[in-house]
Amino acid sequence: MKKVQKIAVLFLAVILVIIAGCSSAKPPKEALQSAMLKIGQANSYSIKMTLGLNELEVPPSVTEQSSAAQTAAMVGLLKDATITVDAIYQKNPMRTDMNMEIVLPGDMEMKLKIPMIMTEDTLYVKVPEIPMLPLPGTITGKYIKIDLKELAAQQGSAGINLEAQQKLGKDLGQVLLKHFDEKTYFSDIKAADAGLPADVKADQVIVFEINEGNYAKTVETVMNKVLPEIIDVLLKNEDSLKAMQLGKSDVEKWKTDLETNKAEMLKTLQNDVKVKTLKLTGAISDGYLVYQDSKVNVEATDKDSGQKMKLGLDVNAIYSDINKKMEFPEIPSDAITLDEIMQQFQLPAGL
């Protein structure tokens, strides 16, 4: 089951990148690629995003170091969880202000509201009030100041390079989508039939969909064309490797494993993974992607044990105020550092 899970996770990651990268009456495929590229190059925008986890089933063997009861409790806590994000972004000088709310349903519903501010070098995270976990008044409600360069150095990584990550996203998007046939995967639909939010106006609405009818072809395309080219892109670009915090040896091993085990992986994905829903609806206005709704429902089965892994989620995002001047509040002057928090809890600063 462990091998099936790794293969399934890798395949799902590729598909989710496709969905994220799909993102005028141009032909559907070109329109969607162009719109996502254009919103990624915008000088500023507001975004409202919601992620709902509506199905989650994880075999006990996934968490080998935890008991089945602990695993079941964690899955039960996460299932039906909702994350909402309300943010404003500007490219230069780089800044993102974000309010995140996490809702964990159940008999004792829990809501966590976490405001964050991110600049090129620093991340500020406001400490939320957490039920059943009382924190000192000197910490609750304060912003924690995190030096991103210093944190990256401690972790032995190159840090966050947004420009490199954006370029990598563009390169991968081009690799991914060029191999997917327009007639098979892409279609235009009327805005009135798309179920768009009332405040979203669209010139064109595109649907990208993988379903039971084209899934087998999708697997062959990903394994034979997409993954080899993605690996080559990474190997040829050191900045791409750094952006993903990968070593060249890691990617070279992926390449060897893919070449050696391709037939077995194809068989596993085609026989043991079932796609119920894998769909993106993207709305375009003035050439920009202004709305996207992604629906994912997949299942992986280990034939030997009968264990299943299921994942179902919905993600939607609305972009607005594109290229408008953003008004940001001042950076909190009373923010505290991680070292100061460690001192209050009398913990070693290196932890």
The one-digit pLDDT tens for each residue of the chain (351 residues) are 445 445 544 555 555 554 444 444 688 999 998 998 899 889 999 999 999 988 888 776 655 555 555 555 555 666 778 999 999 999 999 999 999 998 887 766 788 899 999 998 899 999 887 766 666 767 778 899 998 877 766 665 555 556 666 677 777 777 777 888 899 999 999 998 988 999 999 999 999 999 888 998 999 999 999 999 988 888 887 777 776 677 888 889 999 999 999 999 998 898 899 888 899 999 999 999 999 999 999 999 887 778 888 889 899 999 999 999 999 999 998 888 888 777 766 655 444
pTM strictly above 0.85: no
**Strand ranges inside the chain, DSSP E:** 44-57, 82-90, 95-104, 110-119, 122-126, 143-147, 186-189, 204-210, 273-285, 288-301, 308-320, 336-337
Is residue 351 included in any domain, yes or no?
no
Burial class (CB in 10 A: 0-12, 13-18, 19+), 50: middle
Residue 349, domain member (yes or no): no
CA distance 227 to 319: 30
The pLDDT, as a whole number, for residue 81 is: 84
Residue at 82 is within a domain: yes
Flag whether 294 is in a domain.
yes
Confidence (pLDDT) at 46: 97
330 occurs within a structural domain: yes
> How far apart are the C-alpha atoms of 264 and 160, rounded to whole Å?
36
pLDDT value of residue 141: 80
Looking at residue 294, what is its pLDDT? 93
Element (H, E) at 338: helix 338-344
Which of 205, 204, 209, 206 lies closest to 185 in space, CA to CA?
209
Q: Is residue 350 part of a domain?
A: no
pLDDT at 164: 65
Question: Which domain does 209 fall in, by range?
Answer: 2-344
| DSSP-based three-state secondary structure for 146 | strand
Residue showing tokens 């995140």? 100
**Among candidate residues 203, 195, 169, the one with its CA nearest the CA of residue 28:** 203
Residue 339 belongs to a domain: yes
200 domain residue, yes or no: yes
Residue 240 burial (CB count, 10 A): 20
Domain count, the chain: 1
Q: Tokens 């909402």 sit at which residue?
A: 84
